[in-house]
Amino acid sequence: MSAPGPFNSNAAAFFGGVKSAWTSVFFLVLMGTYIGIGALAHDFGLSSWWLALSTLLVWAAPAQVILVSALGTGAAPVEVAIAVGLSAIRLFPMVVALLPLLRGPGTRQRELLLPTHFTSVSMWVESLRLLPGMPRVRRVAFCNGLSVGYMGTAATFGFVGYYLAAGLPPLFAGTLLFLTPMSFLISTANNCRQMVDRLALVLGLTLGPLLTYWHVGLDLMWTGIVGGSLAYGVHRLRQAAA
């Protein structure tokens, strides 16, 4: 699919981003995921407005699941903050990959603050797909609109899930929470163009379950470090041999 546009103003680019968010597959993914998160927050006795505020401030479904479940089971606030912070580390490489697409000759640092906060799986995948096809001068506005569209979807269906919680079977509500990681996996697999990308994906899918089975602490972090380092090492060896 080609990039939306062309846009003759930043306002048009912003609303074009909102439209792209509402017509993408991630709209359905976020709808299902946040119905599940809303039901989870309801079951743990947290208010719907607390859920909406956490969506705005945290803006990462896995981190919100950690936040809701940890607070709901009585974990200390410091422990919850550390757990949520560690889960957010996975977003740092996404920000690093996205900012070069947004930054242009006249881009000011403060203009990148919102896209940095808005970076999530859905926004990142769609931005990498759509931004290269549009002028750099419109990319920040489009990216912000895309993110507002996704965040508005999440907040809205968080309320829906919260008030439907009594009628949702627990297994169904839990299954909805897996929509985001599964969509990320499928999107990542489709976007793997180089051998190093495919190797990193295979290593991650192999190491993750093994480390979990062996009860290795911080298994997700070690999967990324070990799998990514091995894939990069093989890539460099292939380049040196070429």
Q: Is the pLDDT of residue 190 over 90?
A: no
Mean pLDDT on 220-236: 87
Rounded CA separation 7/16 (Å) = 8
- Residue 124: which of 74, 62, 191, 66 has the closest Cα? 191
Q: Is the pLDDT of residue 61 over 80?
A: yes
Whether residue 221 sits in one domain with residue 106: no
More confident residue, 75 or 145: 145
Peptide bond connecting 4 to the previous residue in cis, omega within 30 degrees of 0:
no
CB 13 within 8 A of CB 145: yes
Q: Is residue 183 part of a domain?
A: no
Helical axes 10-22 vs 25-43, angle rounded to 10°: 70
Q: What pTM was computed for the model?
A: 0.78
Whether residue 109 sits in one domain with residue 55: yes
Whether residue 148 sits in one domain with residue 83: yes
Position 166 scores a pLDDT of 67
Q: Is residue 217 part of a domain?
A: yes
Q: Is residue 3 part of a domain?
A: no
More confident residue, 63 or 176: 63
Whether residue 196 sits in one domain with residue 150: no
Mean pLDDT on 4-22: 92
Structural domains of the chain, count: 2
Report the mean per-residue pLDDT for the chain.
87
> Please, what is the end-to-end C-alpha distance for the chain in angstroms?
34
Q: Is residue 39 part of a domain?
A: yes
Whether residue 136 sits in one domain with residue 162: yes
Whether residue 203 sits in one domain with residue 170: no
User: What single letter denotes the amino acid at residue 111?
Assistant: E
Question: Which of the residue ranges 30-34, 111-115, 173-177 would you say has the lowest mean pLDDT?
Answer: 173-177
Most confident of 62-71, 93-102, 221-230: 93-102
Whether residue 104 sits in one domain with residue 28: yes
Range list of H helices, the chain: 10-22, 25-43, 48-58, 61-72, 77-88, 92-102, 113-118, 121-130, 136-164, 170-176, 179-191, 195-213, 219-241
More confident residue, 220 or 104: 104
Mean pLDDT on 9-15: 95
Whether residue 94 sits in one domain with residue 18: yes
Rounded CA separation 73/78 (Å) = 14
Rounded CA separation 3/167 (Å) = 40
Position 219 scores a pLDDT of 75
Q: Is residue 84 part of a domain?
A: yes
Residue 110: pLDDT band (50, 70, 90) is very high
